[in-house]
Structure 1
């Protein structure tokens, strides 16, 4: 079985905001493959987090891939701002607007990779007709809006369905919500290759970040047959 590359993407939503720039540098140096940036608007989800100016401010602090997850509605008016701020990939929610194809094509038109995200209650079938327009499918394994929630285990079946739907297309499957070293193997076996880790990556302070990331990576890699 061939695999998409295994990617660990710590979510800076779980970082210490009083030391934000230092935290971005620290998680980069600790072995993060991508930097996951959760954007919340207080409307689509019950919280407010970052805007494009925050992305712009931290862009010089890391050369890593910036994975921007827009939990906002509408998303289309802000795509260009996030692209210009330094996003490498922009994911929009299937539930956030009526014209999903248009949103995804707009992201690609800005020269960025395009992702589509699904809330836990949204079936995999909702993205069946846009798979040729995406580079990544993001599966929420908690209800979006807050960090620190428990992983919703039945989402593993949904991940497997999406993996089957994708077939041999070069599309990454990202798992976002409650990912830890204890469930990373199950996520990988189901078909996920991009693992977003918030609390599990940032717990224990900067000295612990490398070990946290390595534990998640090793559990997933072993499930993929890459570590014995």
Structure 2
């Protein structure tokens, strides 16, 4: 699959949100990554319903919903109605993750699993025939600005190897630098969540950065 670049909107400047979304749209990003945190499943809060509604109104591009919350199945329909095109959930947060996937598909949405640093390939392998996207966390979930966790790379290799068999889109989320994008895209990762390591808070414009990343990975 071609390179997908998905800005992590928890890293955006919300005092200038409309302008930032317009600039990101014009830069040609592929999908907006929306972290939803409840302060329970992870020790932080992020992107509540009003944030989601606002960004949905500002762009026609696809939005995901990365549900880092307890009992995510209870909120699948809610975020679908808010305009999510793809819903990720953490399988370890759900009693019956296969039913959560079915619920997402029943709503006409893409279903994804977010694989935390402490979740093994074996723990989610049986779900792979059912899902559309896999998002491997390369930092511990909950906070931006953490270092990349190299110990997850052998696990990532297993998801890369299984991708052809199961047909999912494979992404990574956490400390995604341009160097990491170039190396891991060549190995088979499709989708990169862009935060402060590669996109936000830089002197260059979003368009310059996105264009450079795409040229580096042609």
Provide the TM-score with structure 1 as the length reference: 0.90
How far off is 1:64 after superposition?
Answer: 1.0
> Structure 2: any 5+ residue segments left out of the alignment?
none
Aligned to 2:142: 145
CA distance in 2, matches of 1:126, 1:25: 39
CA distance in 1, matches of 2:91, 2:18: 31
SS in 2 for 1:182: helix
SS in 2 for 1:117: strand
How far off is 1:170 after superposition?
Answer: 2.3
> Structure 1: any 5+ residue segments left out of the alignment?
222-226
Residue among 185, 188, 191 paired with 2:185: 188
C-alpha RMSD over aligned residues: 1.5
Provide the TM-score with structure 2 as the length reference: 0.93
- Does structure 1 conserve the Cα–Cα contact (< 8 Å) formed by 2:38 and 2:69? yes
Equivalent pairs counted in the alignment come to 217
SS in 2 for 1:183: helix
Deviations along 1:34-86, whole A, 9 cap, x unmatched? 11111111111111011233222221211111121111111111111100111
Is 1:201 aligned to 2:202, yes or no? no
1:148-227 equivalences in 2 (<5 Å): 148-199=145-196, 200-204=198-202, 208-219=205-216, 221=217, 227=218
- Does structure 1 conserve the Cα–Cα contact (< 8 Å) formed by 2:138 and 2:152? yes
CA distance in 2, matches of 1:115, 1:49: 19
CA distance in 2, matches of 1:158, 1:214: 30
- Does structure 2 conserve the Cα–Cα contact (< 8 Å) formed by 1:163 and 1:173? yes
SS in 2 for 1:76: helix
SS in 1 for 2:179: coil
